[in-house]
Structure 1
Amino acid sequence: MDTSTAAKPCFLPDGTVEVPAFALPISDLASPEAAAMQRLRATMPAFDAAGGDTDIAGRRIQINTYMAPQIARLRQEFAVDVARTTIGGIEVLDVTPAGGGRDPDRVLINLHGGAFCVGWDGVALVESIPIAALGNWRVVSVNYRMAPEHRHPAGVEDVAAVYAALLADYAPGRIGIYGGSAGGALTAQAAAWLPAHGLPQAGAVGVFGAGGVPFGAGQSPYVSGHIDASFPPPPADGSAPVDITHGYFDGCDPRDPTAWPGYHLDVMASFPPTLIITGTRAMDLSPAIYTNSQLLKAGVRSTLIVGEGMGHCYHYQLGIPEGRDAVDAILAFFRENLA
């Protein structure tokens, strides 16, 4: 190919860049398994993040049906006990290694993904089963209130209620909180909420597939929308994007520190050690990078892992080395910081 005649970016006076169409190959740094998975996408339908015209009850069924085969594989690979109960008045899944033997002094709180409107309990199980089994930990996954029935701060209030109840049995420094996608954003909200409401800070938090600012912030939603397609890019005409949260943040100030602490250094300074995981093809790449930078600026120990060629919440994919490496990093992070 004669690159001298190839289309080039056009830089406009307002700072916008008009990007020419181009073919993006599979990364030569990706594992063979990840490359094979990427090739499979040619035969897979695009994931409809907004849910189309499906009502929310139907959408929740769709997500759980989609997750069911993965959960079945995880239950085969990892022996865990799953108990449905309540803690602090909130429904939870209490996931522990089968046969006992779990760490008696440490506990993890999982906040499932699902755009603040779906994901219970299919996504919750995908996020909790391998962590409980591989870490020998008790993982408490929270059925926090979601849209369209509820609005922020309902979810983080529920997380705080579960956390406060667990303080009766665990030291705060031995409680970790983590989540993917909406659950990652909710984890950041919890790290801001707890000390602001008279509760001791957790020992460590994991923000995966998200950041402490909205998912649409930064440039990655534009890039990811065209190279990954898990979520559509922002509309080219400048109109408002589809609200995949079904109104969860309606009426919330766009810079409210209880919703988006990443904008506020004073709030970020209260965070415990934080692990952030994203991917180069993920729409959450910009929020993750920005949140990590803000934490470092605030003097907080923050670790950022960016999976090469990986998309949104790639740590769910334990069948590829990149996904297993991410899970191993999560386990090591909590082992070190919940001492």
Structure 2
Amino acid sequence: MSRSDTDRGSVRARAVRRGCALTVRPLAALAPVDARTLQLARPVIDQMLRTAAPMLRGTQLEQLRMITADGKQIRGEWVRGPRVTDADRVVLYVHGGGFVAGSAAAYRGVVSRLSTATRMPVFSVDYRLAPEYPFPAAAQDVSAAYRQLLARVGSADRIVVAGDSAGGFLAAQLAIELARTGQAPPAALVLFSPMTDLSLSLAADHPGARREGLLSIPVSRKAIAQFTSDPLDLRPEPGMRLPPALIHTSDAEFFGADAAVLAQRWSATGAPCDLQIWPDQMHVFQALPALIPESRLAYRAAARFIRSVLPPEALAV
């Protein structure tokens, strides 16, 4: 476990978190979450994400529909930041949104920054959302996207898998499933504020969750219920062949305990895991670069981690 590049969050980060805790969080907790309301909420959520994280100027986009060997269609888009120099390695990004919202288009600002920081192209997968497509549809889409990228680049050590929140859950679940079935792991795993325990027991007992600016037990429980009724929990087993992982969390975010427990379990398998705690930040602060200056530092930290674990030939640009 390590502290972030700063010992204390910025004044702006604390102000944003506290302001959201007084406004957005209580309103979100009262809102119903079902197929009808989500049809109205998803465009609003997407627009908020695009406003908080506008796409970097000079970013190249390529929308893509991939057809797998079994005829399954995977939607997403390639995002190439303005400084991409390594076309032989890729990042698979799995967006957040509580399994019920979010999209590749909404996350262009996040993904373009990750692409720019790592200098790698990123495939942002548009997995199917609940409740229209409950578990395991999203996991199947993420797995299918990974297999397609593997066929494209030819080797698992040329792929980095990243995700935030619910997408972090799906990204880690992919790595665990690859290990469980004896398949080669990706080069690295990068998780921003990942969910670990869908029963919410960890979050309910976490003191930092009460300082969160966005999420709460009521809204999280309603979203997860649309995705699955099973108390899914990420539990990598000792001896699993897992990739080195970087996990970002905060001492003031809803899923802080989830991140810490996942890091402990990851390390217990023998795989390297760097848990970075960013003080005073709210859930997935990386998605708020227009508001929170530390988000830019977080992308740089992720890029440094990726460079540190890629094989030597991957560092040549």
Q: TM-score, normalised by structure 1?
A: 0.78
| SS of structure 2 residue aligned to 1:288 | helix
Number of equivalent positions: 296
Amino acid paired to 1:110: Y
What is the match of residue 109 of structure 1? 92
1:46-65, aligned counterparts within 5 Å?
46=25, 48=28, 51-52=31-32, 55-65=37-47
1:1-339, aligned counterparts within 5 Å?
29-38=8-17, 40-41=19-20, 44-46=23-25, 48=28, 51-52=31-32, 55-71=37-53, 74-75=54-55, 77-87=56-66, 88=68, 89-98=73-82, 101-170=84-153, 171-197=155-181, 199-214=183-198, 216-219=200-203, 223-233=207-217, 242-250=221-229, 252=230, 254=231, 259-262=232-235, 264-266=236-238, 269-319=240-290, 320-339=292-311
Check 1:196–1:269 CA distance in 2 against 1; reply closer, same or farther (3 A cut): closer
Q: Deviation per CA, 1:255-276: give whole Å up to 9, x if none.
A: xxxx5332x424x733210111
- Counterpart-to-counterpart distance in 2, 1:274 and 1:218: 20
Amino acid paired to 2:62: A
| Larger CA Rg, structure 1 vs 2 | 1
Check 1:109–1:40 CA distance in 2 against 1; reply closer, same or farther (3 A cut): same
- CA apart distance, 1:129: 1.4
- CA apart distance, 1:229: 4.4
| SS of structure 1 residue aligned to 2:224 | coil
Choose between structure 1 and 2 for higher RCO, CA contacts under 8 A separated by at least 6 residues.
Answer: 2
- Counterpart-to-counterpart distance in 1, 2:299 and 2:287: 8
- CA apart distance, 1:39: 6.0
Q: Give me the identity figure in percent.
A: 24
Question: Which ranges of structure 2 fall in alignment gaps of 5 or more residues?
Answer: 1-5, 312-317
| SS of structure 1 residue aligned to 2:152 | coil
Check 1:272–1:215 CA distance in 2 against 1; reply closer, same or farther (3 A cut): farther
- Greater shift in the superposed pair: 135-144 or 241-250: 241-250
- Counterpart-to-counterpart distance in 2, 1:79 and 1:44: 35
Q: Deviation per CA, 1:115-140: give whole Å up to 9, x if none.
A: 00110134432331111123221100
Check 1:312–1:125 CA distance in 2 against 1; reply closer, same or farther (3 A cut): same
| SS of structure 2 residue aligned to 1:245 | helix
Amino acid paired to 2:90: V
Check 1:297–1:101 CA distance in 2 against 1; reply closer, same or farther (3 A cut): closer
Amino acid paired to 1:69: T
Check 1:211–1:40 CA distance in 2 against 1; reply closer, same or farther (3 A cut): closer
- Counterpart-to-counterpart distance in 2, 1:223 and 1:60: 30
- CA apart distance, 1:322: 2.2
Amino acid paired to 2:298: A
- Counterpart-to-counterpart distance in 2, 1:38 and 1:152: 31
* Aligned residues of 2:24 and 2:213 also touching (Cα < 8 A): no
- Counterpart-to-counterpart distance in 2, 1:66 and 1:316: 10
* Aligned residues of 1:60 and 1:119 also touching (Cα < 8 A): yes
Q: TM-score, normalised by structure 2?
A: 0.83
| SS of structure 2 residue aligned to 1:244 | helix
* Aligned residues of 2:198 and 2:224 also touching (Cα < 8 A): no
- Counterpart-to-counterpart distance in 1, 2:278 and 2:167: 19
